[in-house]
Structure 1
Amino acid sequence: MARFVFITGGVVSSLGKGLASAALGALLQARGFKVRLRKLDPYLNVDPGTMSPFEHGEVFVTDDGAETDLDLGHYERFTGVAARNTDSVSSGRIYSNVLEKERRGDYLGKTIQVIPHVTNEIKEWIDVGEDEVDFMLCEIGGTVGDIEGLPFFEAIRQFSQDKGRGQCIFMHLTLLPYLAASGELKTKPTQHSVKELRSIGLQPDILVCRSEVEIPDKERSKIALFCNVRKEDVIPAYDLKSIYEAPMAYHKVGLDQAVLDAFQISPAPQPDLTRWVDVEDRIHNAEGEVRVAIVGKYTQLEDAYKSIAEALTHGGMANRVRVKADWIDAEIFEKEDAAGHLEPYQAILVPGGFGERGTEGKIKAAEFARTHKVPYLGICLGMQMAVIEAARNLGGLKDAGSEEFDHEAGGKRFTPVVYHLKEWVQGNHKVERKVGDAKGGTMRLGAYNAALSEGSRVAEIYGNLAIDERHRHRYEVDIKYREALEEQGLKFSGMSPDGKLPEIVEWADHPWFIGVQFHPELKSKPFDPHPLFADFVRAAKEMSRLV
């Protein structure tokens, strides 16, 4: 029988609910419990798959092909528990399900209302898989008081009543603003946030209070008194140099103990924090630094490439170096010489993206890396741009390009070295797509297998000839150009099991140049860095010694 922890936020957004949830999950794991984390988002999009990265940050993809909120990436990175389709649900998804049931006649002619029909649908999602874990941690997106979040707050209130006493607790994350001019830490916003929460029937059991200064003992007592919680359950959350300090920091201030006390679990199992002690040691005791240029199109918002940034950090931890990643707008190279911008770096990474904007700059970045022997990692579109660069400059196809860009322009401007994938095999069935299909959830999504060439660099890195990685794309490199490009030295070292879809390319005569059609960053963790990122940073480290 699972115990449920509902994590809500108040005062302002972006306080770190996702990180607090992930850190709590890691601490409960360290005490021997099985955990699963779940995100309930109030927005009306069915999922974030069609949102601009500038709007929502990156889209995190699960093994089973769900496009989810980036917080699920934090959950996986901190706990190692692979997220599922059922671990991310939005208002849009809830309402879509309710309306589909209404159209089918499942409600037997009843008037469909937010209560009970929408709230019942939310409760059903919360309950999925409860028999598999000891703790289910459910984070509610947004802040208390948001009108779109009310059905979720009402649903968790009902859920806690349905489950009965002792099976659900509520953890509320708030801000304690510090007024530097008067030297005061203000508790009133937290009091008002809890008042708002209580007005809709929810009494927090634990308060996590974000503050940039130390919270005095008297202020914790004041918060406890006015918010009706124990003083021990007022947990300070201070700014950290690294997000991976969060599990140890929360443990030191008693968050995991407060949760166990709220559930009356006594005696509490002692935690094994060896993993996180090692993680902190690798963060704080780096033995050098490497500089990596990330040449992308959403560089104004680092959250657009959140998993890539974290995977580079993990690669640095594996090599005991600090990775300094600089975000460079690919469009700059369409106006200026790439060499002037890229020469200071020991490695270049070109990430995924959609649309033509910035692609010519990405192609120039790939060319610079190839000709100057700089380690290069191309991910998804970054791999496609590396193939197009090779086709143009070495394969004799001066107009090589992607069918994606022709679709945008409404004409035939390129020889499509990269084409729109119309059908592929997923599991035991064939998937078919058309160019004009709806955008949401229609890409090649989730985990797919790949076969690696014996003796290739990637086979050496993985230590295996069979891998599976997560995908999110509509366009593929056309296999018909393989022979011509391999004659120039660009090896197709990873293929789909049926040999039809290129998964990995590499330059055999280059110190380290690899392009992958999938997204390896999605499976990297601080205590288990992805092998591609670990070896990419190793190559950058070697390059730094040569400079």
Structure 2
Amino acid sequence: MARFIFITGGVVSSLGKGISTSSIAALLQAHGYKLRIKKLDPYLNVDPGTMSPLQHGEVFVTDDGAETDMDLGHYERFTGIASRKSDSVTSGQIYSKLLAKERAGDYLGGTVQVIPHVTDLIKEFILDGKEEVDFMLCEIGGTVGDIEGLPYFEAIRQLGYELEKENVLYVHLTLIPYLRSASELKTKPTQHSVKELRSIGIQPDIILCRGEKKLMHNERKKIGLFCNIKEENVIQSQDVNSIYDIPLDYHEERLDYQILKSLNLPYKQDVDLSVWRSIKNNQSLIQGRVKIAIVGKYDSYQDSYKSLIESFKHAELFHKRKVELVWVNSENLTASNVVEKLKNVNGIVVPGGFGKRGVEGKIEVIKFARTQKIPFLGICLGMQLAVIEYARNVLNLENANSTEFDIHCQNVIDIMDDQIEGNNLEKLSETREIGGTMRLGSYKCQLKTNSKIHKAYGKTFIEERHRHRYEFNGDFKKSFESSGLSLAGISLDNKYVETIEVDEHPWFIAVQFHPEYKSKPFEPHPLFVSFVDCAIKTIA
């Protein structure tokens, strides 16, 4: 029988429910339990695929092609379990399914209501796959009290009754603010948050108290008394230097013990957390630094590149060398200032993105990296722009571009054949749907055996995740290869160019896929490991 843990948040948003959920999962894994993590987002968008990264953070992509909330990336990085489409749901998906059922007459002419119809669909999502696991962890997006979240809280309240109490645990993450003027931690916001939760019928079993200062005995006792839980179930969640310290911190707080005790399950006294101890030890061994420039247009909100940032942290742990990320806004770059902006960096990354804004600045950066022999990694759009830069400045195709930006160009980057209908810029209309119309999810690729990227991976066949509409135009293959640009990775059906590299360069690799989605602290992605290694070697 699967046990269900529901993780909710209170007081303010962005407290780190995703990290807390991932850390709990990592601890339960260490005790030998099989689990699955699901994210329930109350917003009305069908998925984050059409949402701005500046508002919502990065869009994470699963192997099976779902565009999801970035918290699923945290779940994977902490547990190593690949997320699936069926691990993420939004109100947009719930209501779309509900209305389709209503139009089909599934409700037999009855009145369709939030309770029971919406809540039943939410419960159906939560319960799906319960036979496969010991634990189902479900993170509820948003904050208790948000009006759009009410159906989700009602659904998990009902499940607490229907599944019986010994099979359900409610974990509530709240903020314990510190007032510097009074030198005092304040528990009142937590009390009010739990009161709000209890008013809709949910009594939390465990409260995670996020704050910058250590929670003392008096505060724990007060929270336990006023929130009606045992003092030992009031768990400190203090700010840390690295999110990868949190599983160990929670273990020291005996969170895993309290969870298993509450659900009458066995607890390993000698639980193996060596993976997390090794990560913490490697953090303490980091010496020196290497500067890597991230050249994009979402630099004002770094959660837009969350998986990319974490991938460099994983490479940092591997090399025991601090990776200092230098954020450069591509909109402010021109041929006249690119040298000044990037003069002190040891490596350059142009990550994925959409739209024309900032593209010419990125092309100037790529030219600088190529001509000055600076280690360069292009990801998705970064690869496409590397192709455009090479076409313009080496092949002398002055009008080389992508049809994403100019439909009348020499299209070295073009729309995929099977995507032309409904995606061609000439056919854009207000009614066209753009969500989910890309090459999404995991695809296999074959690498040339003598290539730099083959050396980085150490294998010939790889499988990586994609999120894009436009591709390298195969009509130009011979022109590029004869001029020193190696098409080092090709899809198994020989249809798409997946990776390129410049032959006469120490490390100039660009990929159409997103390697950052698959990097983990205990298994850093080989491309980032190789790239950082080359960047370190440039330091005199």
TM-score by length of 2: 0.97
TM alignment of 1:19-168, pairs within 5 A: 19-168=19-168
Give the aligned residue type for 2:53. Answer: P
What is the match of residue 529 of structure 1? 524
Question: CA separation of 1:75/1:432 partners in 2, compared to 1, >3 Å: closer, same or farther?
Answer: farther
TM alignment of 1:273-292, pairs within 5 A: 273-292=273-292
Question: CA separation of 1:256/1:406 partners in 2, compared to 1, >3 Å: closer, same or farther?
Answer: same
What is the match of residue 413 of structure 2? 418
Q: Indicate conservation of the 8 Å contact 1:505/1:515, yes or no.
A: yes
What is the match of residue 247 of structure 1? 247
Q: Is residue 216 of structure 1 aligned with residue 216 of structure 2?
A: yes
What is the match of residue 354 of structure 2? 354
TM alignment of 1:265-276, pairs within 5 A: 265-268=265-268, 270-276=270-276
Q: Deviations over 1:18-57 (max 9, x none)?
A: 1100111111111111121111001000000000111101
Give the C-alpha shift of residue 335 in structure 1.
6.8
Give the C-alpha shift of residue 457 in structure 1.
1.2
Q: Indicate conservation of the 8 Å contact 2:446/2:461, yes or no.
A: yes
What is the match of residue 434 of structure 1? 423
Partners of 2:267 and 2:398 in 1: CA distance: 71
Unaligned runs of 5+ in 1: 425-430
Give the aligned residue type for 2:528. Answer: F
Q: Indicate conservation of the 8 Å contact 1:421/1:433, yes or no.
A: no
**What is the root-mean-square deviation of aligned Cα atoms in Å?**
1.3
Tell me the secondary structure at the aligned position of residue 423 of structure 1: helix
Give the C-alpha shift of residue 267 in structure 1.
4.5
Q: Indicate conservation of the 8 Å contact 1:366/1:389, yes or no.
A: yes
Q: Deviations over 1:149-205 (max 9, x none)?
A: 000000001112121121111000011111111112111111110000000000000
Q: Deviations over 1:353-396 (max 9, x none)?
A: 00011111111111111111110000000001111000000112
Moved more, 156-165 or 63-72: 156-165
Tell me the secondary structure at the aligned position of residue 467 of structure 1: strand
What is the match of residue 504 of structure 1? 499
Tell me the secondary structure at the aligned position of residue 73 of structure 2: helix
Partners of 2:417 and 2:271 in 1: CA distance: 50
Give the C-alpha shift of residue 434 in structure 1.
3.5
Tell me the secondary structure at the aligned position of residue 404 of structure 1: coil
Q: Indicate conservation of the 8 Å contact 2:65/2:85, yes or no.
A: yes
What is the match of residue 10 of structure 2? 10
Q: Indicate conservation of the 8 Å contact 2:292/2:325, yes or no.
A: yes
Give the C-alpha shift of residue 438 in structure 1.
1.1
> Aligned to 1:479, which of 464, 474, 482?
474
What is the match of residue 456 of structure 1? 451
What is the match of residue 328 of structure 1? 328
What is the match of residue 399 of structure 2? 399
Q: Is residue 541 of structure 1 aligned with residue 536 of structure 2?
A: yes
Give the C-alpha shift of residue 269 in structure 1.
5.8
Aligned residues: 534
Q: Indicate conservation of the 8 Å contact 1:346/1:543, yes or no.
A: yes
Query: Percent identity among equivalent residues?
Result: 55
Give the aligned residue type for 1:183. Answer: S
Structure 1 ranges of 4+ moved more than 3 A: 266-270, 431-434
Partners of 1:241 and 1:284 in 2: CA distance: 11
Tell me the secondary structure at the aligned position of residue 165 of structure 2: coil
Moved more, 286-295 or 378-387: 286-295
Unaligned runs of 5+ in 2: none
Q: Deviations over 1:239-291 (max 9, x none)?
A: 10111111111111111111111112234463210100111112221132110
Give the aligned residue type for 1:310. Answer: E
Give the aligned residue type for 2:238. Answer: Y
Partners of 2:92 and 2:377 in 1: CA distance: 36
What is the match of residue 372 of structure 2? 372
Moved more, 35-44 or 327-336: 327-336
Tell me the secondary structure at the aligned position of residue 162 of structure 2: helix
Moved more, 124-133 or 527-536: 124-133
Q: Is residue 517 of structure 1 aligned with residue 512 of structure 2?
A: yes
